[in-house]
Amino acid sequence: MNTPQALSEALIDRIGEQGPIPVADYMEAANGCYYASHDPFGVQGDFITSPEISQMFGEMIGIWFTDLWTRSRAHNVHYVELGPGRGTLAADALRAIGAQGRHPAGVHFVETSPVLRKLQAERVPHATWHDSIATLPNGVPLIIIANEFFDALPYRQYIKTYGGWRERMVRYGIEGFEPTPGNEPAEDIVPEHLHQAQAGSIYETSPAGLLIARALAARVTRQGGALLAIDYGHENYDAGDTLQALNAHAYADVFSNPGANDLTCHVDFTALGAAGKLGGARIDGPVSQSYFLGTLGIAARATALARRHPERTEEIGAALHRLTSEEEMGTLFRATALVCPRWPKAAGFEVA
Ligand code: SAH
């Protein structure tokens, strides 16, 4: 299903045969098509991510990685990244890790998009690719990076109707794809304190993301390591609809043209931490991206970079502002780490 048109036709057939499908299935199919068919990043694309804004972002992750590895006293670790996009973060981080004299035993990318795998191979040719986390190596500790990965995984949504909570589904009507409540009661999934919420309220959760977080927490607890997740999201999520579509740096209609837009939800960091704890990990953070990058020394890095490339001073300052200021990505984005409980506290999380 490599074009939005082919995807729409397949979804219309599927809905025609089996009735409305869960929002999560729609989101999974739409994003599968979206990432499989093109490179969505950068000025020409639909959105821009931190590693594409500046090399400083990946470098800070590299410094974080080396610091944790060194203090853990692990002999060897693997560099693992979930959804590495264009491979920019990995290339910048691995360069910074190498500059500190360390070389991970292996580099492992979990990536489903063939188009993005090709771009990643141009930047990091010696990586090993995985379709899922199941095949990641055992034995050696894993330090896992996930930037804007969890927000793109399928989210289930539930809506309060006059008849009670129902899963939010997608049907195909005269106006095209549109949301509609399912038939089955969903009270056993929606938290009890929301049972009396007013009609129209929406509750969302990502079982797919939480299962990955829990499984990786169990892995790093068993074999050593940590999972660093950076994403936009919130803590103490109660209720509300955060499903959004981005196209050419503007918001688009979630239910129009599936596969042509990037569909994401805000990450629920409280739930992510709880899933990590269930897997046995210790949770460092969450903290704001601004605090995380600031503590790791991004301002000093910007100064050093500008001194070496005076002609780029303005651009470097703008990138620093974009990554760390409150009105840009500084507070909406958060960082948290799910860490092996035998490992020391990760850098960047001192306040938490
Ligand atoms: N980390 C990158 C890209 C973020 S976009 C950056 O910061 O620039 C989301 C990434 O996750 C893309 O690489 C996409 O192809 C990948 N992805 C989405 N769903 C996935 C899944 N279920 N399994 C593996 N990778 C997935």
pLDDT attached to residue 262 = 95
Residue 316 lies in a domain: yes
- Nearest partner of 203 among 279, 246, 266, 287, judged by Cα: 266
Q: Ligand 1 pocket, 34 CB below 6 A?
A: no
Give me the CATH number covering residue 139: 3.40.50.12710
Residue 288 lies in a domain: yes
Confidence of residue 1 (pLDDT cuts 50, 70, 90): low
**Interval 135-190: pLDDT, tens:** 999 999 999 999 999 999 999 999 999 999 999 999 999 999 999 999 999 999 99
Residue 85 lies in a domain: yes
Report the number of distinct structural domains present in the chain. Answer: 1
Range of the domain at 221: 36-154+205-339
Judged against a pLDDT cut of 60, whether residue 352 lies above it is answered with: no
Q: Ligand 1 pocket, 151 CB below 6 A?
A: no
Average pLDDT over residues 321-327: 95
Query: Which ligand 1 atom is nearest residue 35's CA?
Result: 15
Q: Ligand 1 pocket, 285 CB below 6 A?
A: no
Q: Where are the alpha helices (DSSP H) in 44-87?
A: 50-53, 55-72
CA of 153 to the centre of ligand 1 (A): 9
User: In the chain, what percentage of residues exceed pLDDT 90?
Assistant: 94
Residue 324 lies in a domain: yes
CA separation, residue 253 to residues 12, 224, 280 (Å): 18, 42, 39
Residue 125, strand partner residues? none
Residue 242 lies in a domain: yes
**Residue among 54, 92, 112 whose CB has most ligand 1 atoms within 8 A, to mutate:** 112
On average, the pLDDT of the chain sits at 96
Token reading at 135: 């095949």
pLDDT attached to residue 37 = 82
Q: Ligand 1 pocket, 35 CB below 6 A?
A: yes
Residue 16 lies in a domain: no
Among 17-21, 34-38, 63-67, 334-338, where is mean pLDDT lowest? 34-38
Residue 326 lies in a domain: yes
Query: Which ligand 1 atom is nearest residue 148's CA?
Result: 4
CA of 135 to the centre of ligand 1 (A): 17
Q: Ligand 1 pocket, 112 CB below 6 A?
A: yes
pLDDT attached to residue 31 = 96
Q: What CA–CA distance (Å, rounded) separates 178 from 147? A: 30
Q: Ligand 1 pocket, 83 CB below 6 A?
A: yes
Residue 313 lies in a domain: yes
Q: Do the beta carbons of residue 247 and residue 260 sit within 8 Å?
A: yes
Q: Which residue's CA is the nearest one to ligand 1's atom 2?
A: 85
Q: What CA–CA distance (Å, rounded) separates 194 from 48? A: 35
**Interval 30-80: pLDDT, tens:** 999 999 887 888 778 888 999 999 999 999 999 999 999 999 999 999 999
